[in-house]
Amino acid sequence: MVHLSAIPQDEVDDKLTQSLKKAHLQLANDDDNFATSVYGSRFAAHDLPRHEMPESEMPKEVAYRMIKDELSLDGNPMLNLASFVTTYMEEEAEKLMAESFSKNFIDYEEYPQSADIQNRCVSMIGRLFHAPQGEENGAGAVGTSCVGSSEAIMLAVLAMKKRWKNKRIAAGKPWDKPNLVMSSAVQVCWEKATRYFEVDEKLVYCTEDRYVIDPEETVNLVDENTIGICAILGTTYTGEYEDVKAVNDLLNKKGLDTPIHVDAASGGFVTPFVIPDLEWDFRLDHVVSINVSGHKYGLVYPGVGWVIWRGAEYLPKELVFNINYLGADQASFTLNFSKGASQVIGQYYQLIRLGKHGYRAIMSNLTRTANYLSDSLENMGFIIMSKKNGEGLPLVAFRLMPDEDRNYDEFALAHQLRVRGWVVPAYTMAPNTKNLKMLRVVVREDFTRARCDALIADIKLGQQLLEQMDKESIQKQQEFIHKNHTASGKATHNHPKYRVRSCATIP
């Protein structure tokens, strides 16, 4: 939690309020004291401005260099094995995206081609998920681009809630207690959606040896107030696919008409290529909406996501706004208004540049690399918690074999890897799993077999080093690292009201 920033008090003085009171025109007539060399300039001898916007300008070369230098202490995105989010795109894609930085996507009238490109993406992605077709008679699927799966999920939850409410009102029944059935291992955006939009959570808990929902238990939780069921195609914790078909079949067996939303944030661009026969999408009659992150296995830089509804009837029209501020009449269903067009354009580039064959080739390689890493770690004595052979996302979730005599845990090993530059997160499994500790490596497009071998070598070295250390020094080292080196431990800029001692978020 480092995003909710507080405004430090020491920088706030009342000079500002006084000057506002007697505001008068002050036009500049200072000499321009431009310094030619970045490191010879007075800026290099001072800290960069932190709290108060500086009074005067700095030369653009200096600003560029100083900020670039500051950012060099960030991790290397390529070695960040924690995240699903894309860290590599081809130069041509980068060029196209950079050329579109100045386009505001919402300005459909001014940038009709960008809007059309979004519609092409919606159609291609919808068809990948076997969405019903038939635009002419209004029977086909509908969808939109979003900032990411989080926004997509917010929109899908709103649509499910509204549709349920409309039905309840029509039936003369109360509509004040909507609930949503979902796994305890949902990504944080589901908790946001239910809390922000006041929907009760009905959780299906994971157990020590089951990290996905149990279909029976899920369907048993459904009642008249259930707006929908969330099924995850690739959980954030272990990458396992939830059995959407089993949930769908059980609903049919029980004669329930509960809608299913599939959170395919990661899996949506993997399964259609690696295991196309797996039925999880619009082939199943209860699946009313699906989200996918374009910036995960959709292979686009952050942030772009997609949400598709089976048909217009699943997206109550009260939620869709017709706007004409910018010229044309345009239907819009988004939480925010302005956003860049680059990501949508980047998505279109990837879809037509790679085609199905290209995506299949990449996803197949990732699956092979994940298998190889999984086998190697198993041989080294780790317990593997993720699925192999394309039965889950291309990631490896693993933990240490229980051993009373070992002085270190998964968190200590993660710190050792961090020293080498690798970001491999250690975290605890979802609630009700006896706080199982685990590590997770996400295999992304730019994680080659050679990089994988380098990681394995560093895991071995890290373990060797830890084995030579006693419990106390490992503990001390971990505390020191947490306090001084990790962003969450150091996050003094968080507002105290929101400060969390140790909060590992899983992107």
Ligand X SMILES: *Cc1c(COP(=O)(O)O)cnc(C)c1O
Binding site for ligand X (CB under 6 A): 84, 148-150, 187, 189, 232, 236, 263, 265-266, 293, 305
Strand order in the sheet with 226-232: 142-146, 305-309, 287-293, 260-263, 226-232, 179-183, 200-204
SS3 assignment, position 331: strand
C-alpha to C-alpha distances, 89 to 25, 240, 300, 347, nearest whole angstrom = 48, 26, 7, 11
What's the CA angle centered on 459, arms 457 and 463, to 5 degrees? 120
Cα 323–chain centre separation? 29
For the CB of residue 265, give the shortest distance to ligand X in the complex, in Å: 3
Helix axes 342-379, 91-99, angle to 10 degrees: 150
For the CB of residue 264, give the shortest distance to ligand X in the complex, in Å: 8
Nearest to 390 by CA among 234, 243, 252, 284: 234
CB closer to ligand X, 168 vs 261: 261
Rounded to whole angstroms, how far apart are CA atoms 318 and 162? 9
For the CB of residue 85, give the shortest distance to ligand X in the complex, in Å: 7
**Six-digit token string for 482:** 């947490």
**Six-digit token string for 181:** 């059935």
The amino acid at residue 341 is A
CB closer to ligand X, 83 vs 488: 83
SS3 assignment, position 439: strand
**Six-digit token string for 15:** 């000079």
CB closer to ligand X, 261 vs 415: 261
CB closer to ligand X, 178 vs 234: 234
For the CB of residue 139, give the shortest distance to ligand X in the complex, in Å: 29
Cβ-defined contacts of 324-331 (< 8 Å, 24+): 326/106, 326/107, 326/108, 326/109, 326/110, 327/108, 327/109, 327/110, 328/108, 328/109, 328/112, 330/108, 330/109, 330/115
For the CB of residue 435, give the shortest distance to ligand X in the complex, in Å: 21
For the CB of residue 420, give the shortest distance to ligand X in the complex, in Å: 26
Rounded to whole angstroms, how far apart are CA atoms 365 and 139? 37
CB closer to ligand X, 84 vs 280: 84
CB closer to ligand X, 266 vs 367: 266
For the CB of residue 82, give the shortest distance to ligand X in the complex, in Å: 12
**Six-digit token string for 145:** 């681009």
**Six-digit token string for 39:** 């490191």
CB closer to ligand X, 150 vs 225: 150
- Report the residue count for the chain: 507
CB closer to ligand X, 114 vs 236: 236
CB closer to ligand X, 108 vs 348: 348
Rounded to whole angstroms, how far apart are CA atoms 72 and 66? 10
For the CB of residue 242, give the shortest distance to ligand X in the complex, in Å: 10
For the CB of residue 174, give the shortest distance to ligand X in the complex, in Å: 31
What is the number of alpha carbons within 13 Å of residue 448 lying toward its C-beta?
3
3-state per-residue secondary structure call for 210-239 = CCCCCHHHHHHCCCCCEEEEEEEECCCCCC
For the CB of residue 474, give the shortest distance to ligand X in the complex, in Å: 31
C-alpha to C-alpha distances, 61 to 95, 102, 326, nearest whole angstrom = 22, 21, 36
Question: Which residues partner with 399 through β-bridges?
Answer: 383
SS3 assignment, position 133: coil
CB closer to ligand X, 366 vs 459: 366
For the CB of residue 133, give the shortest distance to ligand X in the complex, in Å: 26
For the CB of residue 447, give the shortest distance to ligand X in the complex, in Å: 17
For the CB of residue 105, give the shortest distance to ligand X in the complex, in Å: 17
CB closer to ligand X, 248 vs 293: 293
CA dihedral (79, 82, 366, 303) positive or negative? negative
CB closer to ligand X, 148 vs 215: 148
CB closer to ligand X, 148 vs 390: 148
